[in-house]
Structure formats: structure tokens, C-alpha cells
């Protein structure tokens, strides 16, 4: 997977990871991939809802140790 931009939201709780992702996506081109590294367990559900609401594609979600990796494709 070719990630175009990555943001680190470790240690931040809802809604900050979503807000930072929204800002990052707004600066990206359609089709580009954004990787968000989070530690908030609630971010799994939050990013699923965010993708549905905004039309951005949630390409991948995985938990690696304490971190949750979200990959979004800009609509």
C-alpha cells in the first residue's frame, strides 16, 4: 500500500483523531491514502462512522499492540 500522508494521533481521545484526519484529508487529492495512527480504542468505531458520513473509503483498520492503524482513501 502506497501511503501519501501519515498523521500521529497517539494519546489523543475522541474527537481529536477524527478532526486531525478531516483536516489532513482536506489537504489531499482524490484517491490519495491517509494513514492515521491512534491509541484510542473508540477510534475504530469513530473512523467507520466518519468514512460512511463523508464518503471517504476506509481501506484498512488494524490493531498493532497498543496502536490502531486506520487507512482512508480520499474521495
The catalytic residues are: 14
Whole-angstrom Cα distance, residue 70 to residue 44?
8
Asked if the peptide bond before residue 15 counts as cis, ω within 30 degrees of 0, the response is yes
3 state SS of 60: strand
Amino acid at each position: 500500500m502506497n501511503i501519501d500522508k501519515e498523521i500521529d494521533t497517539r494519546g489523543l481521545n475522541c474527537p481529536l483523531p477524527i478532526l486531525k484526519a478531516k483536516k489532513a484529508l482536506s489537504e489531499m487529492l482524490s484517491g490519495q491514502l491517509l494513514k492515521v495512527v491512534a491509541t484510542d480504542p473508540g477510534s475504530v468505531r469513530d473512523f467507520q462512522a466518519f468514512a460512511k458520513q463523508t464518503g471517504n473509503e476506509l481501506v484498512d483498520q488494524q490493531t498493532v499492540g497498543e496502536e490502531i492503524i486506520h487507512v482512508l482513501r480520499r474521495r
